[in-house]
């Protein structure tokens, strides 16, 4: 599907120079002289090389059509992570690099994820926007610190450190944004 050069968004996969690229960062630039363009940092999906390109709104770019299939996370064995198709029960193992290094700590047993594939080749994993984790360690609140909106560091059951409000203590279950790795709210369960 052809799209305008200025319609590229972060996370979007495009076909460019005969390869598949994921847009990592974008920046709209409007110089004083000449037309506006979009500066895009692209990352090759297969080998991870980076490329910076400029796209003008008049240019057409081919957006890759990715299939998204529901899978369930089963377990990890070292650097490999196993997922099961929700309908056919077929299993697939993906490396940490394919899953996304920043996403690996947020995988939980039984979590439903979407695996993106292009021509039956798995390219990446999309986690749910939010996941619930238990706080295992939280720093003590300093007296007088609760008057302003300050945050304190806390360690989650998955080993990730996040900043939480002062009222959160060890043993509390919280909702975390899996993209940013940040506190959202106290879990309602």
Which residue segments constitute the domains of the chain, with CATH numbers given? 2-63 (2.30.30.30), 67-126 (2.40.50.140), 130-186 (2.40.50.140)
Contacts of 41 (CB under 8 A, 6+ apart): 23, 24, 25, 26, 50, 51, 52
- Determine the average pLDDT of the residues in 133-151: 76
pLDDT at 129 over 80: yes
> Lowest-pLDDT range, 51-55, 62-66, 125-129, 140-144?
140-144
What is the spatial distance between Cα 42 and Cα 46, in angstroms, rounded to a whole number?
Answer: 12
pLDDT band at 147 (very low <50, low <70, confident <90, very high): low
The string of pLDDT tens digits covering residues 54-106 is 998 888 998 888 888 999 999 999 899 999 999 999 999 998 888 878 888 99
Which pLDDT value is given to residue 156? 93
What is the spatial distance between Cα 150 and Cα 23, in angstroms, rounded to a whole number?
Answer: 34
| φ, ψ at 97 (rounded to 5°) | -65, -40
Closest CA to 64 of 114, 12, 126: 12
Q: Which pTM was predicted?
A: 0.72
Which pLDDT value is given to residue 185? 92
Name the DSSP letter for residue 188.
-
- Determine the average pLDDT of the residues in 117-129: 85
Query: 29 or 174: which carries more pLDDT confidence?
Result: 174
């Amino acid at each position: 599907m052809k799209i305008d050069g200025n319609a590229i968004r972060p996370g979007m996969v495009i076909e460019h120079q005969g390869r598949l690229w994921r847009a990592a960062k974008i920046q709209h630039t409007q110089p004083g002289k000449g037309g506006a363009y979009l500066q895009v940092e692209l990352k090759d999906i297969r080998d991870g090389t980076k490329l910076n390109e400029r796209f003008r709104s008049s240019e057409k770019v081919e957006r890759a059509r990715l299939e998204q299939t529901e899978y369930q996370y089963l377990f990890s064995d070292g650097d490999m992570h196993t997922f099961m198709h929700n309908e056919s029960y077929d299993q697939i193992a993906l490396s940490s690099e394919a899953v996304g290094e920043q996403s690996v700590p947020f995988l939980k047993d039984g979590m439903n994820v979407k695996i993106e594939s292009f021509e039956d080749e798995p390219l990446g994993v999309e986690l749910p926007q939010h996941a619930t984790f238990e706080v295992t360690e939280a720093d003590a609140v300093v007296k007088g610190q609760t008057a302003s909106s300050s945050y304190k560091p806390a360690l989650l059951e998955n080993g990730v450190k996040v900043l939480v409000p002062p009222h959160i203590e060890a043993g509390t279950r919280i909702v975390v944004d899996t993209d940013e790795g940040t506190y959202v709210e106290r879990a309602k369960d």
